Structure 1
Amino acid sequence: MTVRLPLFASALWWGSLTAVGFMVVPMLFMNLPTPAMAGLMAAKLFTAQTWVSAVCCVALMLVNRVGGNSSKVERPQASMLFIVLGLLLALLVEYAVAPRIVARENLRFWHSAGSVMYGVQWLCAAIVLWRMADPRKQP
């Protein structure tokens, strides 16, 4: 199980970031009657996405911790920096950036900052997934 869990968690993390951020939220703004309605729904989706990211990152860290020095868990260990960075970015967007966007405080700046952080989190998840799926390291 500890062999497949990192691949599953990293695929779920990257896939959910991709689906929510690059497909679902843009569709909300194209199809809902007002940007305000789309924004409220997007905020709820991004909150749910934060929890998906957190669970996936914690699972990846736990597999690394439980696995110890086993060669089967080598890939999460090599990706730990990206896992931690991705988790921190998800939490920063949720608890530091999103409240400022909701309060409409310097909206352009905070929306841009949140978008950049989301994009970097997506890159972290992509790097982790790429490393987990390396066929040369399959048991």
Structure 2
Amino acid sequence: MAVLPLVADDVWVTGYVEENGVRKDTSYHWDESTWREDVLPPGGRFGGGRHHTFGPDADTGYYAPDGLIEDGAGGLWAVPSANGAYSDPRILHYTNGSWRLEQTLPHVKGAVQGITRVPGTDSVWAVGFRDGGNPLVISAD
């Protein structure tokens, strides 16, 4: 889970739950009186995904949520879970009342693992890996 408190009456929580082996990714928005739920688009998953341990317990893993920031225009950016080491690096964007999964670099394989916005600007920076472990750095205004 990731939590982003913007102000006391504007709080976001993202993550997932598993019930009977089925994963449901969702976000919740607090507006001082109620929680509203927003489900992700097909293929969208929150957080940095499953990170696996090495050694005797190599088949175990843990969930590591990464990156939930405001976009400076009333929306949010979030880091999705990667669909494998060689998927398209994408970023989740919440705007106009719904989440969209946006492609960052169309011909690069890898994953976005962290994101931030430069304070006082619309500039967003994202980092991760590409091509089997090489660094990936993306910036956009």
TM > 0.5 between the two?
A: no
More helix by share: 1
Shorter-chain TM-score range: under 0.3
State the structure with more CA Rg: 1
Q: Which has the higher contact order (CA 8 A, sep 6+)?
A: 1
TM-score, normalised to structure 2, is 0.24
TM-score, normalised to structure 1, is 0.24
More strand by share: 2
